[in-house]
Amino acid sequence: MDNIYSDSEDFKAEYIPNKEFYLTPELIQVEKRLEDLLGDGTEAVVKICRNLLAAGGKRLRPLLACLSGKIFGIKGNDLINCATALELIHMASLIHDDIIDEAETRRGRPSVNSIWGNQIAVLTGDFLFAKAFGLLSPSHLSSVLTVITDAIDGMCQGEIEQAIAKKDLQQTIQQYLNRIKKKTGKLIIASCSIGPLLAGNASSELFSLQNYGLNLGYAFQIIDDLFDLKGDSELIGKPTNIDLDQGYLTLPVLQLLANPLYRKETEIILSNLPLALNSKLRLQQLMKNSGAFEKSFTQAKEFIDLAKSQLEIFTPSPPITALSLLADNLLARTF
């Protein structure tokens, strides 16, 4: 991936492939804050949290928060605390996802639940939530806290709806989009809201950045779903076909079911989950032949274009350029 900042000294950013995140001045501070917070606890808790930090991550949500702050000239402790809280919440949600999915790896490393068991994993996720809310507890951050708690509410609702929809071959693409708005989009929307909320009196800018985040969230999840169905497990750091094996039907599969020429055979294949290797290969071939993969990618690209269009109300600046290029980079890592 290319650097997403301009040549300005204040906006240089280095992409760190083995850590999966962009190194910016603010993210260095976020990383330090994470280390300090997660190093505060009993020996057992610190050991688990250090394992989480060693796994790295894209740090997408704190990056979005920091960039949104840069647009309004926001710097300092409040911005770093909000960005750190968002990453803690994201980390907690991943731990809980791995428990639900019975996943053994995360980012190429053993998951918390696979090492310490589900009970410890649940409590670790709760510990991360507590740390996040501690950062957001000051009264002057109440508007940020409201947006983030709404995001967590949506994430939980989206996960519940996804669980109920397992193996439902009658579900629609719109239902899928409604779910991913909640389970993925809401926290990204909250991340993009930090700058205008800390700035105050920026309602039109808040609306545009939230719409940027919404469309970025749609694209991000669709791309993630494409990776799950046709990615390289070593490159993405987790096994592929997890969603499908567990009965979660994502956009490429729904595109296939929506095609009358392929629906019947697809229904027959999906009636025997988890799929045998030959069935997985056949389903992949059907998605390729029908154009389901390409249609899904095109849909992701449309959402990226919509996201970037929301930035047009802003005066050009390094952080706006960064947000635009970040959106482009989401697509660049797919095909």
Q: For residue 234, is pLDDT > 60?
A: no
Q: Is 21 strand, coil or helix?
A: strand
Q: For residue 80, is pLDDT > 60?
A: yes
- Best mean pLDDT range from 23-32, 146-155, 222-231: 146-155
d(CA 330, CA 334): 7
Q: For residue 315, is pLDDT > 60?
A: yes
DSSP string computed for 263-282 = HHHHHHHHTSPSPPHHHHHH
Rounded to two decimals, the pTM is 0.89
In tens, the pLDDT along 39-60 reads 887 888 888 888 888 887 889 9
DSSP string computed for 97-160 = HHHHHT-SEETTEE-HHHHH-HHHHHHHHHHHHHHHHHHT-SGGGHHHHHHHHHHHHHHHHHHH
Q: For residue 230, is pLDDT > 90?
A: no
Kindly provide the b/e burial profile for residues 38-74, where b requires at least 16 CB atoms within 10 angstroms of the residue's own CB: beeeeeebeebbebbeebbbbbbbbbbbbbbbbbbeb
| Cβ neighbours of residue 129 closer than 8 Å, sequence gap 6 or more | 88, 89, 92
pLDDT of residue 237: 47
Nearest to 321 by CA among 23, 71, 93, 44: 71
Residues 2-29, mean pLDDT to the nearest whole number? 50
Confidence of residue 240 (pLDDT cuts 50, 70, 90): low
In tens, the pLDDT along 191-216 reads 999 999 999 977 899 999 999 999 99
Q: For residue 16, is pLDDT > 50?
A: no
pLDDT of residue 243: 85
Residues 268-292, mean pLDDT to the nearest whole number? 92
Using a 10 angstrom Cβ sphere, with 0-12 exposed, 13-18 middle and 19 or more buried, the burial of residue 164 is: exposed
Q: For residue 22, is pLDDT > 80?
A: no
Q: For residue 182, is pLDDT > 50?
A: yes
Q: Are 57 and 20 within 8 A, CB to CB?
A: yes
Domains of the chain listed by start with CATH number = 9-332 (1.10.600.10)
Confidence of residue 5 (pLDDT cuts 50, 70, 90): very low
Confidence of residue 175 (pLDDT cuts 50, 70, 90): very high
